[in-house]
């Protein structure tokens, strides 16, 4: 009896094992959509801003050249007199794409990089179309 139950338990454990979680940073690395509006580059990262005119959707793509000192960085879009909009996070390495919609206000392309762990600003990126 034990000779039957033990192999059956092992086989069912393998079949019922939960699937591995998908890494959202890898899934978030998408090719540039639409037309490229502007780009900026420094020794740490490269930033590309593009727009899909038919969807009224902007894409902000970060390519990290050298690993950042912090594991995760929050990215905010400055909106002038309004509250800044959180676009998402970028990891300390790799390529990450963040998306935001065109709004009726004056479109500012100023982005704040913020270290949420140490509660301090890292950098501000000013993109000029």
- Residue boundaries of the structural domains of the chain: 20-126
Residue 25 corresponds to which tokens in the numbers above? 């940073």
Whether CATH 3.40.50 fits 20-126: no
Of 80, 90, 83, 101, nearest to 47 (Cα)? 90
Which of the two residues, 105 and 121, has the higher pLDDT score? 121
Model confidence over 20-70: pLDDT tens digits? 544 344 444 567 678 899 999 988 889 999 998 888 888 999 998 888 888
pLDDT at 2 over 80: no
C-alpha closest to that of 69 among 120, 127, 110: 120
Token look-up 């970060």 returns 62
Handedness of CA 69, 73, 79, 84 (dihedral sign): negative
Give the global pTM.
0.70
């Amino acid at each position: 009896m034990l000779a039957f139950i033990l192999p059956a338990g092992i086989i069912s454990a393998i079949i019922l094992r939960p699937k591995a979680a998908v890494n959202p940073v890898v899934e978030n690395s998408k090719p540039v959509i639409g037309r490229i509006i502007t780009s900026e580059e420094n020794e740490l990262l490269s930033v590309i801003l593009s727009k899909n005119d038919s969807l009224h959707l902007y894409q902000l793509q970060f390519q990290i050249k050298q690993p950042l000192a912090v594991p995760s960085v929050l990215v905010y879009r400055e909106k002038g007199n309004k509250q800044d909009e959180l676009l998402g996070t970028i990891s300390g390495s790799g390529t990450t794409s963040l998306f935001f919609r065109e709004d009726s206000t004056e479109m500012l392309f100023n982005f704040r990089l913020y270290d949420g762990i140490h509660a301090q600003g890292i950098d501000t990126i000013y993109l000029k179309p």
